Structure 1
Amino acid sequence: MADTDSTTKAGGAAAGTVPAAPRPGLRMSVELPLWRALTGYRVLTLIYTCCLVASQYEKYVHPLGAVGYMAALTVWTALTWRHTTSAERCTRRFLAGDLTFAVGGILLTMVVESHERIMGGAATLPSICTAGSVLGFAIKGGWRWAMAASSLVAVANLVEREELAGNTIHNVVLVWVASVAIGYVVEVARDSERTLARALQIEAATRERERLARDIHDSVLQVLAMVQRRGAAIGGEAAELGRMAGEQEVALRTLVSGGLVPPPRAGAPATTAAPPVAAAVPEDAADGRCDVRALLAPYAGSGVTFSEPGSAVELPAHAAGELAAAVGAALDNVRVHAGEGARAWVLLEDEPAAVVVTVRDDGPGIPEGRLDDAEREGRLGVALSIRGRLQDLGGTAEWLSVPGQGTEVELTVPKGAPPEGRRGGKARA
């Protein structure tokens, strides 16, 4: 059933109709017929059992006890029939009460029936009504609840019969297998419903993103591109405005295509500098794993091209944050040492044993021995911000630079635990 309000909010009038995912409160269509069938089963089996007791009235040792139980069962069924029309109405308290009536009726048979008739295979007072109680547990809670309820009914039947008679064992096994099978089918159907709901949500989000991408491409992105071109042509402060518009254009394209750009922090400048690790790692991933793509995507801009795999590249949250900070430090070096006009390329690769990020620029390159000289002079940007971070993670940081042809930094972080004593950070010029 389409949710008109949700569709209007998500896509607006221009989006057309976007299929809304099923609301969590609604049950799947396959479960509702089961509840209706259970309601009908309880009514029909009650009528059958009343007729059975009436036909056997004169054979009971205490016929008034049998009639009293059937009267109580009839009143209970009439008062509680709505409880089996949906999962929300079928509470645990009702299920416990219904099972109590069934088990109590089985045990009451020992009082109202003679021992000879019981040993001869006479039906219990609730007869096949007992199955309705067990099926309620199966539909509500799955096969585990069904197993527990049917086991209680089995114990009551064995106590009533006082021996392992063949027909008793047959009836007990039949109820047990049927209830467990139905409970298992219900669980599988519920899992399928959740999978379908998730697929519908993804489909709706994808269609909405495509619509937004079309609208943004026809309006916002074209305006930003025009501001970038005009600003570069005018020069001065307009050139800086054009550069910022270009960065926002790239970020917006990334957002509408992949949704990997996190919301910018209040007051954060538009720069390639590495954000603090605590701010870069999503809060919900602080104790788990994090997609490295989401942390590197914000570095993309008019002067930085970011290339990524099509699937998630996951690392422990701390390792992902440290790697992103190291990439930010490498891009800072590009901005400071290669000049404002230099371009940089960031390539993220997901290898079987490690995650590799390569940062390459088209700057003048690093003269041979310059990194070692900078470390001796106390300028520790490379030693601490990049090499130190990777060493702590058991990874490596390698520089390859040719004067006049730019610099390439390869950052490698192993996916497993950092081995003891591992060292990284070789520099080649």
Structure 2
Amino acid sequence: MEIEGSFWRAIAVYRIASLAYAALLLAGAGGYQRPALGWLVIGVMALWTAATTFAYSVARGRALLVIDLLVTMGCLLASPYVQGSGAGPAGVMPVTATWIGGPVLAWAVYGGRRAGVVAAIILSLGDLWLRGLRAFDLFVPASGAVLLILAGAVVGHVARLTKQAEERLQRAVEMEAAGRERERLARGIHDSVLQVLALVQRRGLEIGGEAAELGRLAGGQEAALREMIRGEPVSARYEDAGLTDVGALLRRYGSATVTVSTPATPLLLRAEQAREVAAAVGAALDNVRRHCEEGTRAWVFAEGDAESVTVTVRDDGPGIPAGRLAEAEAEGRLGVAQSIRGRVANLGGTAGFISVPGQGTEVELTVPAPA
């Protein structure tokens, strides 16, 4: 990702600048009893700075992050040998100076604020131990450790938010491109395929017989194709929350004999809920095709509020005789009991059946809406 790459370049700049600062301290400040050993440590720091600048630009992984932390800790723990007897609470700054912040920033960018804080705590404990805080006296100033931990937390949090923003932006660009492509295809399909299917449906119904069946099939494909080219993707923020527009799933059932009506705004359910509700509606429509005369019309209505989503399936078939559903369940025919009632009950909802002989059947499915 381009934005994440900017973070790693900024870390490389920080490492180089802090390395130069550590070298200036060693060259200009007193208190180091073994400067030659100090320059050796500075040389190791320079080599590792060059190595990590290249490594983090081509590949990033946990192994590299752990090695980075260990090398930095090794350079930090070499400070007492450079400082000599001046080491301790009143001693001079460790030879690494602010260079130890590099791994903290790297861990934060890679793994977020928790990883950044962990790396900061590890290095802070090493720094405090060098300064003589073995008893961890809380009244002893430890501002460097606090700043290191805060830097890991803040940079990690900002890096994670930036990654999420970039991912959502990329998804929005892809959705916009898909929408433009859908519009382009819709224009071409409307001017050719849909008109041909509509003509086949109309002429087939006029001729009758087997041609009427072909006309009905063409009408079903026309409705499905219209739904496909008009479908709009659910907003990325809904997808991130694990929500799905059940209305989009229901509109796929639209055909020459099935009319689907859904609100203009999304009817959001959890993805598993939406799939189960759509499957229950599909089972209800299968019952219409199986038990009603050919050409029986059906209607699917969907609505919702803050508490629930209700889907109603109606048909103009002969209806269900009184007690027939109970008899079928007693005979072991569990199509309605399992495919419709069972699915909805597992979601914490209810399924109601209203049927009047000669006037069709109505199935009402109600499931609780997510908070």
TM category (shorter chain) comes to 0.7 to 0.9
Quick one: structure 1 residues 313 and 327, their matched pair in 2 at CA, closer, same or farther if it must change by over 3 Å?
farther
Alpha-carbon distance between aligned partners in 2 of 1:143 and 1:102, rounded to the nearest angstrom: 20
> Aligned to 1:52, which of 10, 25, 31?
25
| Equivalent residue, structure 2, for 1:360 | 315
For residues 220-259 of structure 1, what are the alpha-carbon distances to aligned partners after superposition, in whole Å with 9 as ceiling and x for unaligned?
A: 0011111222233334433332222222212211221227
Deviates more, 1:215-224 or 1:190-199: 190-199
> Aligned to 1:111, which of 67, 73, 81?
81
- Confirm or deny that 1:74 pairs with 2:27: no
> Aligned to 2:55, which of 83, 88, 91?
83
- Is the partner of 1:113 in helix, strand or coil? helix
For residues 313-343 of structure 1, what are the alpha-carbon distances to aligned partners after superposition, in whole Å with 9 as ceiling and x for unaligned?
A: 6437556534421232134444x2xxx4553
Quick one: structure 1 residues 166 and 124, their matched pair in 2 at CA, closer, same or farther if it must change by over 3 Å?
farther
- Confirm or deny that 1:155 pairs with 2:120: no
Quick one: structure 1 residues 375 and 148, their matched pair in 2 at CA, closer, same or farther if it must change by over 3 Å?
closer
- Confirm or deny that 1:372 pairs with 2:322: yes
Identity of aligned residues (%): 33
Alpha-carbon distance between aligned partners in 1 of 2:230 and 2:171, rounded to the nearest angstrom: 20
| Equivalent residue, structure 1, for 2:302 | 348
Report the alpha carbon displacement of residue 64 of structure 1 after superposing the two structures with TM: 3.1
> Quick check: which one's helix share is greater?
2
- What is the letter of the counterpart of residue 322 of structure 2? D
Q: Is the 8 A contact 2:72 2:103 kept in 1?
A: yes
Alpha-carbon distance between aligned partners in 1 of 2:7 and 2:48, rounded to the nearest angstrom: 21
Report the alpha carbon displacement of residue 142 of structure 1 after superposing the two structures with TM: 1.8
Deviates more, 1:171-180 or 1:60-69: 60-69
Alpha-carbon distance between aligned partners in 1 of 2:114 and 2:253, rounded to the nearest angstrom: 51
| Equivalent residue, structure 1, for 2:93 | 123
Alpha-carbon distance between aligned partners in 1 of 2:16 and 2:180, rounded to the nearest angstrom: 47
Q: Is the 8 A contact 2:80 2:87 kept in 1?
A: no
- Confirm or deny that 1:321 pairs with 2:284: no
Q: Is the 8 A contact 1:390 1:397 kept in 2?
A: no
- What is the letter of the counterpart of residue 397 of structure 1? F
| Equivalent residue, structure 1, for 2:237 | none
Alpha-carbon distance between aligned partners in 2 of 1:42 and 1:140, rounded to the nearest angstrom: 16
For residues 186-240 of structure 1, what are the alpha-carbon distances to aligned partners after superposition, in whole Å with 9 as ceiling and x for unaligned?
A: 0110111122122222222222222221111111001111122223333443333
Report the alpha carbon displacement of residue 116 of structure 1 after superposing the two structures with TM: 4.0
What are the ranges of 5 or more consecutive residues in structure 2 without an aligned counterpart?
A: 234-241
| Equivalent residue, structure 2, for 1:225 | 198
Give the TM-score, by structure 2 length.
0.79
Alpha-carbon distance between aligned partners in 2 of 1:376 and 1:143, rounded to the nearest angstrom: 59
Q: Is the 8 A contact 1:390 1:413 kept in 2?
A: no
- What is the letter of the counterpart of residue 329 of structure 1? N
For residues 324-375 of structure 1, what are the alpha-carbon distances to aligned partners after superposition, in whole Å with 9 as ceiling and x for unaligned?
A: 21232134444x2xxx4553323233463453313132x6x66xxx813878
For residues 273-299 of structure 1, what are the alpha-carbon distances to aligned partners after superposition, in whole Å with 9 as ceiling and x for unaligned?
A: xxxxxxxxxxxxxxx998655665454
- Is the partner of 1:355 in helix, strand or coil? strand
- Confirm or deny that 1:40 pairs with 2:13: yes
Q: Is the 8 A contact 2:300 2:313 kept in 1?
A: yes
How many matched pairs?
Answer: 346
Name the Cα RMSD after superposition. 3.5
Q: Is the 8 A contact 1:158 1:168 kept in 2?
A: no
Q: Is the 8 A contact 1:243 1:302 kept in 2?
A: yes
| Equivalent residue, structure 2, for 1:309 | 263
- What is the letter of the counterpart of residue 395 of structure 1? A
Alpha-carbon distance between aligned partners in 1 of 2:178 and 2:80, rounded to the nearest angstrom: 62
Q: Is the 8 A contact 1:61 1:112 kept in 2?
A: yes
